[in-house]
Amino acid sequence: MQKIQDSTAIVHQNTQDYLHWFRHSAPYINAHRNKTFVVMFDGEAIQHENFQYIIHDIALLHSLGIRLVLVYGARPQINAQLQIQHLQTPFHDVRRITTREALPCVMQAVGAARMQIEALLSMGLANSPMFGARIDVVSGNLVTAKPYGIRDGIDFQLTGEVRSVDVDAMTRLLERHNIVLLGPVGYSTTGEVFNLLAEEVATKTAIALKAEKLIFLGNQNGVFNSQGQLQREIVPHQLDQYITQYQQAQSQMALYLQGAKDAALNGVQRVHVLPYAHDGALIQELFTRDGIGTMVTDAHYEEVRMANIQDVGGLINLLRPLEEQGILVYRSRERLETEINQFAVIERDGTILACAALYPIPTTANEIASAEIACVAVHPSYRKSNRGSQILHFLEEKARTLNIHQLFVLTTRTAHWFLEHGFSHATVDDLPNARQALYNYQRNSLVFKKII
């Protein structure tokens, strides 16, 4: 009996998790529909055991109406071919110098990689969640190349750079629900094959197509700062510093970040760097608010600011559960609408994560200019973060600009939190007269104050 109860509880918990997850993902499912994403993975990713699951996830994205351009690299595959032929090609920085005799190896490796990906996408997806779905994958002469030329006195021979991508053709293919597949090669107007950097093909394509996202699947979890901490979001102007850091480490990440910079400067709103080895990374990044890897974006992804009338709905979602538990006093929609200018919020990608209000208290001539901080609330999934402190600091700053020197807070449950934030015990008598008159003796809140 005991056992049955336990497993029911687990099933119930899983259902709850699932519901919670699905409700939070739904806005992203709608947001991503019909948008164009360019996804690049390098040759190592193709060889990794997780690659089959990446292909499943790609199939899933496709079925949700996302327009996909896949770009693959083939560096280890090319190296393997060269080794078979006992050939070597020098690298200059990150670029291979493709000699005429090495070109067949490049063609062989790139062609084979393409077939491998096409085959995986054609599997009938029998063992995948997408069983029965049919995917049309198209590649072709979509990227025009030109020679990289002679630089620093070095002739790069058949190494090229992207000259243009055929936007019209790709758009047509995407509109017809094809997945476009591009490799690290392009053809020149003189009919030659050039070896290209996959990162560059992906970036140029994302820019030309005005893609919503450029996604790099690399061998690291994302971008790390010099202290080794994963950065969940970075803004384009921080990129230079990371590019130097990764260049010094001779990491391929430098190429992704160079691409990210280029893309961000040219209108691609979000660039993501994700681990290819992590099962489900694409799904987690795209359908959750916090993602899993690093996102480069210029837009205010998260900000602390004063609230406006559009925030009322989000505030209600945040406050109602806390009001129901008696932690906060009930505020009607009308009241929130009238008081909205007193509120500060933290917004993250369209969701209100935290709020707090600052109500100036009318004071008489011999009282210190004071205000009450009220309605401090943080979204349950973000309680462990420091969003509460952030919003409190924001309102303290705001109070200073209003020449307010004394803050009060009345609370029944969260005394310790305010004590940790520099408030000290006070009594009802310490409140300015105007606020004393409104004190609710039944609620019996504790009074705290802070001089700022």
Of 289 and 435, CB closest to ligand ARG: 289
How far apart are alpha carbons 423 and 397 in whole angstroms? 15
DSSP letters of 307-365? --GGGHHHHHHHHHHHHHTTSS----HHHHHHHGGGEEEEEETTEEEEEEEEEEEP--T
Given the rule CB under 6 A, which residues bind ligand ARG? Answer: 28, 232-233, 270, 285-291, 293-295, 349
Q: Considering only CA atoms, give the Rg of the chain.
A: 28
Structure tokens given for 40 = 């690049």
d(CA 137, CA 117): 9
Compare residues 27 and 111 and give the one whose CB is closer to ligand ARG. 27
Give me the least distance between CB of 57 and ligand ARG, in Å please.
Answer: 13
Kindly tell me which of 126 and 299 has the beta carbon lying closer to ligand ARG.
299
For ligand ARG, the closer CB: 106 or 223 = 223
Long-range contacts, 119-124 (Cβ 8 Å, 24+): 120/51, 120/52, 120/55, 121/55, 121/58, 121/59, 121/179
Residues in the chain: 452
Query: Smallest distance, Å, CB 35 to ligand ARG?
Result: 10
Q: Nearest-CB residue to ligand ARG? A: 291
DSSP track, 84-145 = HTT----EETTEE-B-TTTHHHHHHHHHHHHHHHHHHHHSTTTTSTTTT---EEE-SS-EEE
Q: By C-beta, is 162 or 273 nearer to ligand ARG?
A: 273
Please report how close the Cβ of residue 204 comes to ligand ARG at its closest, in angstroms: 22
Q: Which two tokens stand for residue 215?
A: 């996604």
If we measure between CA atoms, which residue out of 387, 297, 313 comes closest to residue 349?
297
User: Cβ of residue 278: shortest distance to ligand ARG, in angstroms?
Assistant: 13
Q: Which is nearer to ligand ARG, 291 or 314 (CB)?
A: 291
Strands 370-378 and 351-361: antiparallel
Q: Which residues contact 449 (CB under 8 A, 6 or more apart)?
A: 406, 407, 408, 409, 423, 424, 426, 430
Instruction: Select 323 or 349, whichever has its Cβ closest to ligand ARG.
Output: 349
Instruction: State how far the alpha carbon of 369 is from the alpha carbons of 158, 170, 382, 408, 437, in Å.
Output: 74, 64, 33, 11, 17
Task: Please state the closest distance from residue 379 (CB atom) to ligand ARG, in A.
Answer: 15
Q: Kindly tell me which of 61 and 142 has the beta carbon lying closer to ligand ARG.
A: 61
Residue 75 and residue 72: Cα distance in Å, rounded?
10
CB closer to ligand ARG out of 232 and 405 = 232
Q: Which residues contact 366 (CB under 8 A, 6 or more apart)?
A: none
- Of 98, 64, 94, 58, the C-alpha closest to 82 is 98
Specify the residue, 223 or 318, whose C-beta has the smaller distance to ligand ARG: 223
Indicate the residue type of 64: L
CB of 290 to ligand ARG, least distance (A): 6
